[in-house]
Amino acid sequence: MAVKRNKSIVISYKALRRLIGVLGMALPVVLILGGYLQPGNGILGSISSYYHSNMQDVFVGILWAVGLFLISYKGYDSIDNWVTNLSGLFAIGVALFPTIAHIDDTRPLGVFQLPPAISGTLHLAWAFLFFLLLAYNSYFLFTKTGTKIPGPQKLARNTIYRVCGIIIIASLAGIVLYMLFLQYTFLRHWAPVLILETLALWAFGFSWLVKGETLFRD
């Protein structure tokens, strides 16, 4: 009975990892496709901009789901738990404190009806920390091997985790570079923030799918 119970717990944790992965990878796809249902919407400049579209409820709902799943996830030790718990809180923070719709917007935003400048600043901070912790989790925590000598599948997974972590950091660096120096250049017509955020979310989601043993299982 105990063995069966332990096995069901392991399966449930694998399912949770897969669910987190699916939600992370689905978020940009669902928002972009759903955004076309709003006449004249087209592709917006960032994932966060979909808060101000017909996809607001979907944007908030998926972020809350990802946040709660990350908080409920229990890792191998305390550092795993701290990182996933904080990642979950930051994901929820991104939903609670929306970005500004446009530069001259003066309407109070979000649940707390904050001035746009404050809400936008908090949104950027939470989003930055969210992606930073996702990269740390993928590169450093998912690659831990414990006392066993890692087999070929584990080594392959570790390579994937590190690549995903690098993609997230590179995407984050690209967003910062664009917002500081390139925001008013020709690049703005190509929605670079949306593209880089999508790459980061896909890397995040893919690493969790692999962690859930969807691929490269032992």
Ordered by start, the domain boundaries in the chain are 2-211
Q: What is the pLDDT of residue 127?
A: 98
Q: What is the pLDDT of residue 150?
A: 79
Q: What is the pLDDT of residue 41?
A: 79
Dihedral sign of CA atoms 26, 27, 28, 31 in order: positive
By CB atoms closer than 10 A (0-12, 13-18, 19+), residue 120 is buried
pLDDT along the chain (218 residues), means of 10: 47 85 97 90 93 96 97 89 97 97 84 94 98 98 82 90 98 97 89 98 97 77
Regarding pTM above 0.85, the answer is yes
Q: What is the pLDDT of residue 115?
A: 95
Q: What is the pLDDT of residue 1?
A: 46
- Whose CA is closest to 55, among 194, 150, 202, 154? 194
Contact 24, 204 (CB under 8 A): yes
Q: What is the pLDDT of residue 147?
A: 64
103 CB-side CA count, 13 A:
1
**Which two structure tokens, joined as six digits, stand for 122?**
């908090």
DSSP secondary structure string, 56-116? HHHHHHHHHHHHHHHHH---SSHHHHHHHHHHHHHHHHHHHSPPPSSTT--S-BTTTTB-H
